[in-house]
Amino acid sequence: MSTEITGVSLADLLAQRRALPESEARGVGAHVARAIADLHEQSLIHGDIKASNVVFVPDGDLGLIGFDTTAQTDDVIALAVMVVECATTVVIDEASRWDVVGLVEVGCPHDLAGDIALILRDTPAATRVSGILQRRDDRLPEAPRHGDSTDPSPTVDIPSVAIVGLSPMGTATPPCEPAAPRGWRRWASGGRG
């Protein structure tokens, strides 16, 4: 893993794209599991594996930031929770018992749900987790452009609520007379023509 980071995290990507396809969620999980395995070989624990602590580095790789050596969370369990978040945008409670059916119900693809349920149940070593998640077609997602803040949510223009006789500056203004109804409005109010 490279040490130089772009400042763009996996959480930023999820905020832009919502859920990742299964192949990308698996790629992220397998890659981060290998990084965790490297840390564990050095007798280090990350302690805070989550989407905001997985960052994109310039070469398209992923890096880990935000180490918390005092945390009580198991890195492998936290990784499984993060992979579910990547695939579904749902952050599951790691303390709950999750089986395949429950994971599929929150939107996890069936095959991935089976692998995640196995990881949550058995808590294998990180090197084994990497092998469980890795598939032939998995790949890392493309890093979002730094500063690209496109909001995927639809926008709705809401007309302002105006109080007759008050200006936006708080000073009284004379009430205006409503315009005479035209077209269908005149017909609806009883007028003809």
Range 134-153 average pLDDT: 69
Range 21-35 average pLDDT: 95
**Quick check: is 183 in a domain?**
no
Query: How much is the pLDDT for 192?
Result: 56
What rounded mean pLDDT belongs to the chain?
Answer: 79
**Quick check: is 184 in a domain?**
no
Residue 123: phi and psi, rounded to 5, are 45, 65
**Quick check: is 43 in a domain?**
yes
Q: Which domain CATH number covers 107?
A: 1.10.510.10
Least confident of 2-11, 32-41, 148-157: 148-157
* Nearest C-alpha neighbor of 126 from the set 83, 159, 93, 156: 83
Least confident of 45-54, 158-167, 173-182: 158-167
- Asked if pLDDT for residue 64 goes beyond 50, the answer is yes
Number of folded domains in the chain? 1
Contact (CB, 8 A) for 32 and 126: no
% of the chain exceeding 90 in pLDDT:
48
**Quick check: is 1 in a domain?**
no
Q: What span, in angstroms and rounded, lies between the C-alpha atoms of 140 and 132?
A: 16
Confidence of residue 5 (pLDDT cuts 50, 70, 90): low
Full domain range(s) for residue 28: 10-133
Contact (CB, 8 A) for 30 and 133: yes
Contact (CB, 8 A) for 16 and 143: no
Strand runs (DSSP E) across 30-153, as ranges? 54-56, 62-64
Confidence of residue 67 (pLDDT cuts 50, 70, 90): confident
The amino acid that residue 143 corresponds to is A
Query: How much is the pLDDT for 17?
Result: 82
Q: What is the pLDDT of residues 83-135, one digit of tens each?
A: 999 999 999 998 888 999 999 999 999 999 999 999 999 999 999 999 999 99
**Quick check: is 174 in a domain?**
no
56: helix, strand or coil: strand
**Quick check: is 52 in a domain?**
yes
**Quick check: is 88 in a domain?**
yes
**Quick check: is 15 in a domain?**
yes
Q: What angle do CA 139, 83, 123 make, to 5 degrees?
A: 115
Query: How much is the pLDDT for 183?
Result: 55
Confidence of residue 79 (pLDDT cuts 50, 70, 90): very high
